[in-house]
Amino acid sequence: MTDPALIWSYLAQGPLLWLTATLVAYVVGDALFRAARRQSWANPVLIAVVLLAALLGATGTDYATYFEGAQFVHFMLGPATVCLALPLYDNLPRVRRAAWPMLAGLFVGSGVAIVSALLIARAFGIGEPVLASLAPKSTTAPVAIGIAERIGGQPTLTAALVLLTGIFGAIIVTPLLNALRVRDWRARGFAVGVAAHGIGTARAFQVNETAGAFSGIGMGLNAVLTAVIAPMVVGWLG
């Protein structure tokens, strides 16, 4: 029989091991999410990330090696974003009717996300480069990274803040909006798309198709608006 260490060193080089691990971690996360009756605190992304982080730590694997395998899953974010066109198209009559409410939700949600994040961070003595990395954290990752670079932030830190915002938003949205008695699926979805981008949108699709469609629109519109207002707010508060 071959030495297990040799098999390990062979597997650790190729993408198969970490691709499989990523899918298995997600399957476990999704199973736990279902077992918890789809409650938002059992977020499948969070569970999978914690499992994989523990596995990387236990095997002494660095993130670059892990990403060699996981990049195939990561790549699918692009086509999945394009696919948001279908629920949007299916909900077009609803979307047309909701133009004014969407505009209000967009400007209020986007403005509050940026200004309140910067004010809280500044109150804790956090300085300019981190503030610039924090400002675009509610937008989808590629847009946020582009904005952060333009206003003097750190792209890698921004990516991490974007992910944390998304996971937190996806967990908090259901209890928060239930407590506020917001029953309109359009408002619920749109607000979480604006504040917590794609991870919020994934959560919205788990709950309701209309919420998912409006969440995707909120995410797309906020990508544009944040690119315009984040530099202004950072200049003003930074």
Partner 1 sequence: MISALSLILAFQLVGEILSRALDLPLPGPVVGLCLLVAACILRPALAARLRPTAQGLLSHLSLFFVPAGVGVVAHWPVLRDHGIGLALAIMGSTVLAIAAGALAFQAVARWTGTVDPSALKGGGDD
Interface of this chain with partner 1, residues 118 to 137, rule: CB under 8 A:
118, 120-121, 123-126, 130, 134, 137
Binding residues among 62-91 for partner 1 as defined by CB under 8 A = 62-63, 66-67, 70-71, 73-74, 76-90
In degrees and rounded to multiples of 5, residue 137 shows phi and psi of -65, -15
Could you tell me the CA-to-CA distances from 217 to 13, 72, 127, 194 in Å, in that order? 40, 26, 32, 8
> Quick one: which of 148, 185, 231, 233 contacts partner 1 (CB under 8 A)?
185
Q: How does DSSP classify residue 1?
A: -
Residue 185 makes CB contacts below 8 A (sequence gap 6+) with 208, 210, 211, 214
Tell me the C-alpha distance between 93 and 88, whole Å.
10
Taking the complex as a whole, how short is the minimal distance between the CB of residue 205 and partner 1, in angstroms?
6
Helix (H, G, I), strand (E, B) or coil at 198: helix
Residues in region 23-42 near partner 1 by CB under 8 A: 23, 25-26, 29-30, 38
Determine which residue in the list 136, 201, 229, 231 makes contact with partner 1, applying CB under 8 A. 201
Between 25 and 234, whose beta carbon lies closer to partner 1?
25
The nearer residue to partner 1, 11 or 208, going by C-beta atoms, is 208
In the complex with partner 1, which residue's Cβ is closer, 180 or 232? 180
Tokens matching residue 154: 């750190």
Residues in the chain: 238
How far is 56 from 12, CA to CA, in rounded Å? 11
CB 13, min distance to partner 1, A: 18
- Which of positions 90-119 make contact with partner 1 (CB under 8 A)? 90, 92, 94, 97-98, 100-110, 112-114, 116-118
Shortest separation between residue 232's beta carbon and partner 1, angstroms: 14
In the complex with partner 1, the residue whose CB is nearer, 11 or 182, is: 182
Position 163, amino acid: L
Closer of 11 and 111 to partner 1 (Cβ): 111
Position among 7, 16, 53, 232 found at the interface with partner 1 (CB under 8 A) = 53
Amino acid at 218: G
Cα–Cα nearest to 135, from 125, 155, 124: 155
Nearest to 74 by CA among 188, 190, 159: 159
Taking the least distance from each CB to partner 1, the nearer of 7 and 97 is 97
Task: Give the number of residues in contact with partner 1, rule: CB under 8 A.
Answer: 127
The torsion angles phi and psi of 122, rounded to 5 degrees, stand at -65, -35
Q: Which is nearer to partner 1, 17 or 52 (CB)?
A: 52
